[in-house]
Structure 1
Amino acid sequence: MIKIFISDLDGTLIHKARNHVKPNQANEKALKKLENNNVKLAIATGRLEKSIYEVEKNLKIPLYKISVNGAVISNTNNEIIHESFLEKSIAQRIIKKLEKKYIKDIYFYVLVTDKASNYFRPAVFVSRVINLLYRKRFNTKYLTKMHLRLLLSDAEKVLKINIGTGKDKKYKILEEMQKEFYGSEIFITGSRSVEIGPKNNSKGTAVLKLLEYLDISPDEAAYIGDSYNDLPGFEVCRYSFAMAHSEESIREKAAFVVRSVAEAADKIMEINGKNK
């Protein structure tokens, strides 16, 4: 019996680049069907929690929330269950590394904080148009020395660092960052991005914390996603679904491969003996 269904957001529940918080009609209908059959619903995303609030508002369904790749977990009343941050010293070392070694190999890096702020540091060669579009889309502020002082004090806490780079360069940066900052969680989260989060922090560890909070066994949980940061979610849930457009190395880690959240929901109903 599957008691909870946990879905990634971008590339899984949400597809259209211009529509960041509204699932398509088929996915929306499928989630409501699961809710009506007593399956709890959760979102696990690299985005800030406020994006899940908007999804929840559109769906009109109470959602458990795993945001910033597991750094923040909240219940359906938006009460925080768990919160974790990058250590100040680690964040400072990462910033120095990016500035000294990688600033020519990346387009930008962004510090995401618990104050729902995105501090944006673009590379010099990135055009002003791209900078403007990115800042508008993600509501970012340019990273200044004043911001760094603020972030490295107790005023704000860093939840994650997002690095935008080339499709090929991301693997090199991932490998080198994992060697130096092996205590932190470092993932490829998109075709051109690498993200660094707190130690022992991932969507998988967050799912386990949420399941413990709800008194649900991992054998009663289903997870769906399409990227490398979803693999820890696959590992802890008995029923794992990879999106068909995922890379092969992601698809082969899942129990099922599906084309949509709606298709995964149908399979869950079948497993629960409700799809007749």
Structure 2
Amino acid sequence: MIKLFATDLDGTLLKSGNTIKNKDIEAIHSLSKTEIDFAIATGRLDRDILEICKEIRKNAHRVSQNGAFVLSDSHDFIHQRTFDLEMSYKLHEHITSYSHLVCISTKDEIYISKRTEELKAMENFLYFPLIEGIDFIDKYGTEINPSKYMLLGENKQLVSIEEEIKNLFGISIESYISDPNCLDIVPKGVSKADGLKRLAKHLHIKPSEIAVIGDAYNDIPMFEMTPNSFCMSSAPIEVQAKAKHIVDDVYEAIEQITSLVSN
């Protein structure tokens, strides 16, 4: 029996320009008819999820920053994880040594190394402005507690950098190519699957009672967590191979799971 449906945002529920299909919104609202709970699991900040909830007029359990933060739909804090002070120093110094654009996330903000024309264009589709300036290593442990580091660039270069970072810091970090041009680095053990498992424990359900949908490499852990996994047909072939079902839209996945519950 499926008791919770969790969706990724970018490339899944969110289409180009942060648009959401009406059919997807209607399907999300239909979940309550079969007593299936709703969650959003994303690499974005929690505040972005709250904006989506306003747009679709539906509260959601929230797994943000790839599982670094987990909150219930009634805003109960279930889990949070940031880098410890020593690892924050090491990652900051290493990651900023690359020529690539750097983004550093905390619970509530995203700091960027440089507001390029590319980032300005991207910012137009974000719900909140980016903050330029990452020269705050002296504020680590007091004002700034990093939860995610991101490098932006060409995919081949990011794949190579990911291997290098894994070799250096693998026992302390998890890394995901969350987008072809974005490498995410989060604390060890942080994943959408881990976040959803913590949420499941809070809701007194089993991971196998969760259905999930996504489209990127950072969605693979949650695909592997449950037999009820859906992948967008627009996803890379390697990502599709990890899911049980392939669909074109979120509403198709919801229709499949609600029909099973109804029968």
Normalising by structure 1, we get a TM-score of 0.89
Provide the residue aligned with 2:247 in structure 1: 258
Q: Give 1:132 deviation, angstroms.
A: 3.9
Q: Name the structure 2 match of 1:65.
A: 62
Give the distance between the partners of 2:7 and 2:141, measured in 1 at CA. 35
d(CA) in 2 for partners of 1:233, 1:170: 23
The amino acid that maps onto 2:257 is: I
Percent of aligned positions that are identical:
27
Which residues of 2 match residues 109-128 of structure 1 at below 5 A? 109-114=102-107, 116-122=108-114, 128=116
On the 8 A contact 2:92/2:137 being kept in 1, the answer is: no
Distance, in Å, in 2 between the alignment partners of 1:50 and 1:78 is 12
Are residue 224 (structure 1) and residue 213 (structure 2) matched?
yes
Q: Match of 1:140? A: 130
1:134, 1:234 → 2: CA distance?
A: 28
Equivalence for 2:151: 163
Deviation at 1:144, TM superposition (A): 4.6
- Counterpart of 1:111 in structure 2: which amino acid? I
Match of 1:214 in 2: 203
The one-letter amino acid paired with 1:36 is K
Q: Deviations over 1:110-154 (max 9, x none)?
A: 11112x1211113xxxx8433544556451222253x2222x132
Structure 1 residues 113 and 3: alpha-carbon distance in aligned structure 2, compared to 1, 3 A threshold: same
The CA deviation at 1:248 is: 0.8
Q: Is the 8 A contact 2:34 2:261 kept in 1?
A: no
CA distance 1:148–1:245, change in 2 (3 Å)? same
Are the equivalent residues in 2 in contact too, given 1:189–1:195 (CA < 8 A)?
yes
Corresponding residue SS for 1:6: strand
Segments of 5+ residues of structure 2 without an aligned counterpart are none
CA distance in 1, matches of 2:134, 2:245: 46
Contact 2:96-2:102 within 8 A present in 1 as well:
no
TM-score by length of 2: 0.93
* CA distance in 2 between partners of 1:47 and 1:259 (Å): 22
CA contact (8 A) 1:4 1:41 kept: yes
Does the CA-based 8 Å contact 1:189-1:227 persist in structure 2? yes
* 1:195 paired residue among 178, 184, 188: 184
Amino acid at match of 1:170: L
Does the Cα contact within 8 Å between 1:218 and 1:238 map onto a contact in 2?
Answer: no
Secondary structure at 2:89's aligned position in 1?
helix
Q: Which whole-Å CA distance do the structure 1 matches of 2:129 and 2:87 have between them?
A: 25
Deviation at 1:238, TM superposition (A): 2.1
- Give, as a single letter, the amino acid of the residue that structure 2 aligns with 1:164: L
Aligned CA-pair RMSD: 1.6
Unaligned runs of 5+ in 1: none
Alpha-carbon deviations, 1:225-275, whole Å to 9, x = none? 00010011111122000110111111111111111101101110122135x
Question: 1:209, CA displacement in angstroms?
Answer: 0.5
Q: Residue type of the partner of 1:251?
A: Q
SS at match of 2:70: strand
Contact 1:73–1:83, Cα closer than 8 Å, also in 2: yes
Q: Kindly provide the CA deviation profile for residues 30-71 of structure 1, in whole angstroms up to 9, marking residues without a partner as x.
A: 111112221000000000001111111122222100001100
1:12 maps to which residue?
Answer: 12
**1:96 aligns to 2:93 (yes or no):** yes
